[in-house]
Structure 1
Amino acid sequence: ESGEFKSLADFCDRVDLRAVNRRSLESLIHCGAFDKIASNRNQLIHDLAFVYDWAQSRARDRSSGQGNLLDLLGISSNGSKANKNGYDAPKAPPVADLPPQEKLKFEKELLGFYVSDHPLQSLRKSTQVLAPINLAQLGDYKEDTILCAVVMINNIKKVTTKKGDSMAILQIEDLTGQVEAIVFPKSYERVNPLLITDARLIIWGKVDRKEEKAKLILDDAEPVETVQLVMVELDPQQATTIEEQHRLRGILKEQCPDKEKAKIPVVAIVQSGDARKLVRFGRQFWVQDCRTTVQALNNARFLAHIQMLTGV
């Protein structure tokens, strides 16, 4: 009736607060309903503590007839003057906005789905170095194929086996879909502390196609924020000399004779003039321990260092 809402105060002043309580407004803010008005949701939550009482006071003034006269005079019942967006409502001191992950958590809790983004979207570029699969394509892989994926845990069902061992059945998702992941007792002992709803993980496992819908047998997992890479800096001569390439590959193979335990990718940084190119080694050259690999490479006159995945 009076056009678009110009602020949180304008909204609270114009709606019937008997129908929209404070908790409902908090939920609307956390869901992003006011993002077009003000993108700092945390500021709006803090402002609401003041604005809601202010708007209720104005509603009481209007119901008693006092508000109409004051509105005509351009002042509020507490003496504040009107501005172009309405009356000067009280505000909280400035505060920083909520972290993106916390915003998304509120959206999921209140709506059951994400609105403004997906928690894994910001990781899409950096995690490509791991060559993760898309969960939507899990059924395309053969039985027992070893793979990794970047996922979030949606649901955790803990199970006790007949022998009394603990295991878990997870519902996991990525940007393409959702699948079920089974964590058998041996793996459960290792990864149990990481199994938290909404946790963002890099997981390693095998494809299980015994039933109609493919599942993932989870072997290991690590929080995305703690995943490390081995970075090897190569000059043009090292990158193009066959002998140097064989020597480098030989060192990497020595670092993990058991390939099922190799979960650390190796990335070459090829520098040529001002150009810098990242080259990912195949999974057969992944290693088991960052520190020993870097030491072995440095001893062999290859310049290597450890880098966090999210910093690539």
Structure 2
Amino acid sequence: MAAVMSADMDNTEKVVTLLDDCRQLNLQVLPPDINRSEYQFTVDDQNRIIYGLGAVKGAGEAALSILVEQRNKDGAFKSLADLCKRAGTQKVNRRVLETLIKSGAFDSLGGTRRAMLEYLPEAMRMAEQYNRNQGTGQADLFGGLFGGGVAESTPEATMPEREEFPEKERLRLEKETLGLYLTGHPLDEYQSEIAGLGSRKKLVDIAEDDSTKYRREPVMLAGLVASVRTQHTDNGKRAFVQLDDNTAYYEAMIFTDTFTQYGNLLEKEACVVLEGTLDTDQRTGKTRLRVEKVHNMQSVRENFLRKLVLRLEEQQVQRGILPALRQRLQPATTAGSFPITIEYFNAKARADLRLGGTWTVPLDDAGVRDLRQLLGKENVSLVF
């Protein structure tokens, strides 16, 4: 698998499918790491695949070769400042280093990605000064940072402490530099909900369909909108939407009438569910998806949710959680009502308490996140 991914490392769509194959085969793929990765994908002594640095978009083989050569020659990089000092700043320039930070390849050097990006200009300036002084035999104010003594063992002392980027931003930067989501996916937040959709299929199941049999079946496809192309027709606009669910990419065509009705939901990086019919053309033998409806995640909840289950334990009630839960309840409308059941546990018994139909909770992302933060993610179940 490492060899196959190395051969196709420039083909992002192929790598996405191969990564899903690795998951199906229970093969662990480690993120790129400047102290472990080679240019190509490799395998460590625990039979884990190490992501190849060559698959980082925009880093460049020349710069990566310098870094790998330095690591193999003088040992692992200890910090961002140590790496800048040893790499030089000609081929391994600021753009290359920023790309590697965003991809997660420098995570093992200590500090968050946000902190490293903020500290990088200063680290490069000190490294340039150090290398210039080494060439002239001089020492200056920064000699202690790289030149020896206690300071050399703690060269990151001046790097600011910064919280990591929010998960959504961290993944966006990862996608920007790797061409795919590796350590997570924006769709992960909704997996428990998507799994409850009965006719839902993974994109890899559709993308790898060999069209050897006639098909006509209703399906739901969940994914992140990777791109949207529109095309003018005599009747208006139709769209070609590329979805990504971390198993494959799949492009669906959305006809004019559907696009007119749902086009506002098809924004790049939005999580959507396409509802439609897989239909095989008897003349050409090709199977295509005819999209009939587009849902965002709030729409999925509003249209398909059968009930909301909230799990409460005696200790939570004793800590006074009920008033906070009561504040989140809102008067229900007939159109948006759904049953809410509280599963209550104590040391001796369990009871299911169904709330009156006059109450509901917000089903937008912010409302669901707030509820999970209050009760615990595992204590909020949306049943479809």
Does the pair score TM above 0.5?
A: yes
**1:265 equivalenced with 2:305 (yes/no):** yes
Partner of residue 123, structure 1:
190
**1:85 equivalenced with 2:153 (yes/no):** yes
In the alignment, structure 2 segments of 5+ residues that lack a partner are 1-72, 315-331, 341-354, 369-380
Whether the aligned pair in 2 keeps the contact of 1:51 and 1:89 (CA below 8 Å) is no
Q: How many residue pairs align between the two structures?
A: 257
Partner of residue 305, structure 1:
360
Q: 193, 201, 204: which one pairs with 1:133?
A: 201
**1:185 equivalenced with 2:256 (yes/no):** yes
**1:214 equivalenced with 2:214 (yes/no):** no
Counterpart residue type for residue 205 of structure 2:
Q
Measure, in 2, the Cα distance between the counterparts of 1:45 and 1:9. Answer: 12
Measure, in 1, the Cα distance between the counterparts of 2:216 and 2:144. Answer: 74
* CA deviation vs aligned residue, 1:161-194 (integer Å, no higher than 9, x gap): 1x24111112223233332211111111122222
CA RMSD of aligned residues (A): 3.7
Q: CA deviation at 1:200?
A: 1.6
Q: 232, 254, 271: which one pairs with 1:160?
A: 232
Measure, in 2, the Cα distance between the counterparts of 1:160 and 1:181. Answer: 16
Whether the aligned pair in 2 keeps the contact of 1:203 and 1:221 (CA below 8 Å) is yes
Partner of residue 8, structure 1:
80
Quick one: structure 1 residues 169 and 59, their matched pair in 2 at CA, closer, same or farther if it must change by over 3 Å?
same
Please list every run of at least 4 consecutive aligned residues from structure 1 whose deviation after the TM superposition is greater than 6 angstroms. Answer: 270-274
Counterpart residue type for residue 5 of structure 1:
F
Whether the aligned pair in 2 keeps the contact of 1:229 and 1:307 (CA below 8 Å) is no
Whether the aligned pair in 2 keeps the contact of 1:142 and 1:207 (CA below 8 Å) is no
**1:75 equivalenced with 2:173 (yes/no):** no
Quick one: structure 1 residues 2 and 218, their matched pair in 2 at CA, closer, same or farther if it must change by over 3 Å?
same
* CA deviation vs aligned residue, 1:223-251 (integer Å, no higher than 9, x gap): 33x34636xxxxxxxxxxxxxxxxxxxxx
Q: Sequence identity of aligned pairs in percent?
A: 24
Whether the aligned pair in 1 keeps the contact of 2:88 and 2:128 (CA below 8 Å) is no
Quick one: structure 1 residues 90 and 58, their matched pair in 2 at CA, closer, same or farther if it must change by over 3 Å?
farther
* CA deviation vs aligned residue, 1:131-172 (integer Å, no higher than 9, x gap): 3322233459975533322211223221111x2411111222
Whether the aligned pair in 2 keeps the contact of 1:81 and 1:88 (CA below 8 Å) is no
Quick one: structure 1 residues 97 and 130, their matched pair in 2 at CA, closer, same or farther if it must change by over 3 Å?
same
Whether the aligned pair in 2 keeps the contact of 1:50 and 1:90 (CA below 8 Å) is no
Partner of residue 254, structure 1:
none
Quick one: structure 1 residues 85 and 223, their matched pair in 2 at CA, closer, same or farther if it must change by over 3 Å?
farther
Quick one: structure 1 residues 157 and 295, their matched pair in 2 at CA, closer, same or farther if it must change by over 3 Å?
closer
Which of structures 1 and 2 has the bigger CA Rg? 1
* CA deviation vs aligned residue, 1:265-284 (integer Å, no higher than 9, x gap): 2126498998xxxxxxxxxx
In the alignment, structure 1 segments of 5+ residues that lack a partner are 231-262, 275-289
Q: 221, 242, 245: which one pairs with 1:149?
A: 221
Measure, in 2, the Cα distance between the counterparts of 1:217 and 1:190. Answer: 15
Q: 37, 41, 49: which one pairs with 2:113?
A: 41
